[in-house]
Amino acid sequence: MAQKHQGPLIVNSVNEFRLALILGGTRSGKSGYALDLAKNFSTPRLYLATAEAGDEEMAARIAKHRQDRGEGWDTIEAPLELTGAIAAAQGRYQVILADCLTLWLSNWLIRGGDPAELNGVCLDLVNILKNTATPTILVSNEVGWGIVPEHRLAREFRDWAGWLHQLLAAAADLVVLMVAGLPLMVKSPNKKEE
């Protein structure tokens, strides 16, 4: 079912980015592209997993992601403490890959916390990433292109994700939008802003 990214559009010089944001819809090829990008770095490499196996289907997805990663990765489960994990990994790895920000955001929202606290957590993440010394790749779902969700929590999630993506895209050197398995370069160190 899933297809490994075969396109020519991996950034020419992967060492030119400090922060990469890989966005796309479900099954768009985000994770595969991010893995291919990260594998251009030597070991040690760190994978920060935000998913929690709440049911059999999610457990199977997590197992598939582990299999796709293969060897050469340290993995840290960070369903909530993503910022702390990124901070602690600085200088210890050649590259950090965090997959996925929308699951991390969901984990915070379903706990029913205070919006001011979530705002602070998101800003802390952005601030640590603005100063990352270790190249970091973030994977996240672009969720704002569909219909307006019927339920309040789903609307809040969509709004939080859109706001967080804007902040991260502004901080990133590289932003790639995956569509049907194809990478579209939105922002890159080699592309002049217009």
119 Cβ contact partners less than 8 Å away, ≥ 6 residues apart: none
In the numeric block, which tokens belong to residue 106? 């969901």
Q: Is there a catalytic annotation at residue 65?
A: yes
d(CA 17, CA 148): 34
Among candidate residues 5, 65, 151, 165, the one labeled active-site is 65
User: Which has the closest alpha carbon to 102: 119, 79, 86?
Assistant: 79
d(CA 187, CA 165): 13
d(CA 59, CA 81): 20
DSSP 144: T
Please give the positions annotated as active site: 65
